[in-house]
Each structure stands twice: as C-alpha cells, then as structure tokens.
Amino acid sequence: MLKFKNEIPFVEDTSLHDIIRVCETPFYIYSQNMIKQKVEMTKKVLGENIFFSVKSNSNQAILKLMNSLNIGADVVSIGELKRCLHAGFPSNKIIFEGVGKSKDDLIYAMQQNIRLINTESIEEIKLLQKLASEKNKMIDIGVRLNPNIDGGTISKISTGKKTDKFGIEMNEIENIANLVSDFSNLNLISISCHIGSQISNIDAYKNTFKEMKKATDIFLSLGINIKHIDLGGGFHVQYKDNDPKFKIEDVKKELDACFNSSSPYEISFEPGRYLIAEAGILVTSIITTKQNGGINYLIVDAGMNTLIRPAMYNAHHDIITTKKKIDSSVTYTVAGPICESSDIFAKNILLSKQTIGDILIIKNTGAYGKVMSSTYNTRALPTEVLVNKENFAIIYAPDEIEKNIEKDIVPSWL
C-alpha cells in the first residue's frame, strides 16, 4: 500500500512524511480507497450480503466507511454492537453472535431489533426463549453449526472442528428443530458457520458448503423454514510471497456448485481480515540498535502491545524500510521494547543499513492490529490514521498514559 514517488513514500496521494510530522510513532495508517475497492470487489464476486466482521477493526471511522459501502456488520459483543449502532449501521443490518453471550447481552440485543441473534448452544436457545417470552417479543434467530471441518489453519484460529468450542454439532439438528417448534417466541430462520480464519484451502470451503446444504435440507424437511445461510468469513490474505495464492472467485465457484441460483434462501458471508488487512500498515521508529550474540537487533517503538500477532500466533508480517534505496546489506532482527522475549516482529530479515530514528513499516496490519493492542508495560495505545487521497485524519488518539494510571483506585487503607 506504500508507493514511492521520487523516493518519497506515499499512502494514496498523501506523503508519509506529512503524517509523521503530526503523529508520534507507533501508529496505524489505513487507506480508505483500498478498503473501498476490496469491499466492492468482494460484493461483485460474492453478492451484496456481506457482513463486515467488526472484531477485525472496530474504529468508528472504519465502521462508518463500511456502512457507507452498504454492507452489514457481524458483531460478537455488546461493545461491538454499540459501536455499530453509534457508527450509524441500521439495526436490521447487524448480526450478533459469539460463544458466550450473557443474559444482559441477549436482552440488549433483543431490544435493538437487530437482524439476527445467532445462537451457539442448546442452552442459549432455551435462555433466549425464556427472555423473549418475558419481554413478550417474537425474535428471529439463527443457529451456528459446527460442521466438523478442519480448515487447515493454525490451531489458535481454527473454529470448525467438533472439538472447538464454537457452534452446535450437526447431530443436534433434529433436537434443535424439535426445540424451536415448541418455542412460540423464537423464529429460527437462519443457520451459520465459520470454520476459522486465514483459510486458503478451497476443499475446506467446498466441504463446508456441502455440510451446510445438507443441514439446510434437514431443517427444511423438519418444517423449519430456513431463509438465510451465513457461511462465515475466514478468507485468506497473502502475508508473504510464498503463502498460498487465494482467489475469492474459487470460493464463488464452489458456492455455485453447491447452492443453485434458484435456492429459496439468501446466502451471506462475514469476512473481516480479507476486507481490511492489506489496507493497513503500522509505522514505527527505530529507538536503538544493538548486537547480542551476533544478532543485529533493531529495537523499535511498536511492541507486542501494539501488534500482538507475531508474538501470539507466530504470524508473519513483511517489514520494509522507507528509504528508497534497498541494498539488502544487513541481516536484522526487529524487536519491540516490551520486556518479553516473544516481543519480536521478524527474525533475520535483510534491510538496507538502518540507524536510530529511521522508520520501518510493518505491512498488512489493517485487521487484528489496533483492536488487539493493549497498554501492557504501561505504554500508550497506538494512534490510527485514515488516508483518503491527499487528505488524512487521525481517527484514534490514545489517552495520555497519566489517564491510564488515574484509572487505578487505591483503597483507603493504603
């Protein structure tokens, strides 16, 4: 997303130097037009029923942008639901799911008249019936099924195997149908699934679609009028050159092979990463350089508190310099300032010679970046910036660290 014009790095038509002049590193930058293009391309291939998975990036400006592109939202907490309503999403374009919704969460979601509440256990369906009947409401619900499919992704982000905590097992379909038939306040109109994130294996999609088609047919045969099938997110993003090449068109081919166009139900998806990961970068400065045990360390001001994916999942993010001339002369390990050995962004990468104060760019960080950041080691959260052609705006300004300290409450006996 960073382009060089006369050796000056640009995001869209905005010079990175102009942003650095007003923003302290580390900060995230998102390209509005890259997001827009990706959303439009996805809609063109998969259809209009796209629900942005808000957990991947929940900034108000991003949500407002997604809403303006006429897609819906998929939320997994009341906090995310409130964020979407605040950003202007119509409530009938919001789906609420999640493996652990409290009674208060369900009541709040019910009162907002959102499009669907996707249930994830028999117990939750029973609780929802009780709450809906107490409030004298009729509500549309979905059930998230667990199709027992291994998407071939890393275990920490796999969700579709029957031993994973998500969804309801396929062999419960008859029980669910019987249960909801007796429930006068619930209208089961949808089934959903999500087998994991960062999935490139097309057979995994194919097998999931087949299972979901089978499930739909069983529900229909049991008299449950399924009108909507939500096939989740998880589309793969290429973080490094030798990652598998993923084409969304291949997903569409499998979709068409499984569900024909005359199917009486609407099909939707809920991608997060695919729509926004590549449209974000993390900008960080080199605090210091050092050599330990023959390793050339670049210690930068972003840490695992800013971007946790490398430390948490061993995830790869390309790192580039902002100096145009790349002579690839030094092998570096790029590490953050956090007091943990896992606070490493990349090991043994070739970069042109770097010095203190130089800027590095950590790529493809638009999804699961800022949303997973923390104040660990009592460091500030990162700033976020949105670029639109030659304009840019700060869209998140972190609190001064003093504010964070003031949140602690010292009891009177100390």
- Kind and range of the H or E element at 382? none
Q: What is the DSSP letter of 127?
A: H
Return the number of the residue (9 or 167) whose C-beta is nearest ligand LLP.
167
Closest approach of ligand LLP to the CB of residue 127, in Å: 20
Closest approach of ligand LLP to the CB of residue 25, in Å: 22
Closest approach of ligand LLP to the CB of residue 402, in Å: 30
Return the number of the residue (147 or 233) whose C-beta is nearest ligand LLP.
233
Return the number of the residue (59 or 197) whose C-beta is nearest ligand LLP.
197
Return the number of the residue (6 or 163) whose C-beta is nearest ligand LLP.
163
Q: Is residue 267 a contact partner of residue 303, using CB atoms and an 8 Å limit?
A: no
CA distances (Å), origin 282, targets 177, 291, 311, 342: 47, 24, 15, 18
Closest C-alpha among 348, 342, 355 to residue 287: 355
| Beta carbons within 10 angstroms of residue 295's beta carbon | 13
- Kind and range of the H or E element at 5? strand 2-5
In one-letter notation, the amino acid at residue 242 is N
Closest approach of ligand LLP to the CB of residue 354, in Å: 27
Q: Which of 23, 193, 258, 339 is catalytic?
A: 339
Contacts of 334 (CB under 8 A, 6+ apart): 297, 298, 300, 319, 344, 345, 346, 349, 360
Hey, which residues does 3 pair with through a beta bridge?
Answer: 10
| Beta carbons within 10 angstroms of residue 354's beta carbon | 19
Return the number of the residue (177 or 193) whose C-beta is nearest ligand LLP.
193
339 included as an active-site residue: yes
Binding site for ligand LLP (CB under 6 A): 53, 56, 74, 97, 157, 159, 194, 197-198, 232-235, 270-274, 309, 313, 367-368
Q: Is residue 23 a contact partner of residue 382, using CB atoms and an 8 Å limit?
A: no
Rounded to whole angstroms, the Cα distance separating 12 from 16 reads: 10
Closest approach of ligand LLP to the CB of residue 325, in Å: 33
Closest approach of ligand LLP to the CB of residue 260, in Å: 25
Return the number of the residue (205 or 332) whose C-beta is nearest ligand LLP.
205
Closest C-alpha among 235, 237, 232 to residue 269: 232
- Kind and range of the H or E element at 296? strand 295-300
Return the number of the residue (232 or 303) whose C-beta is nearest ligand LLP.
232
Rounded to whole angstroms, the Cα distance separating 33 from 49 reads: 21
Q: Is residue 233 a contact partner of residue 53, using CB atoms and an 8 Å limit?
A: yes
Closest approach of ligand LLP to the CB of residue 181, in Å: 26
Rounded to whole angstroms, the Cα distance separating 337 from 287 reads: 9
Point out the residues that are catalytic. Answer: 339
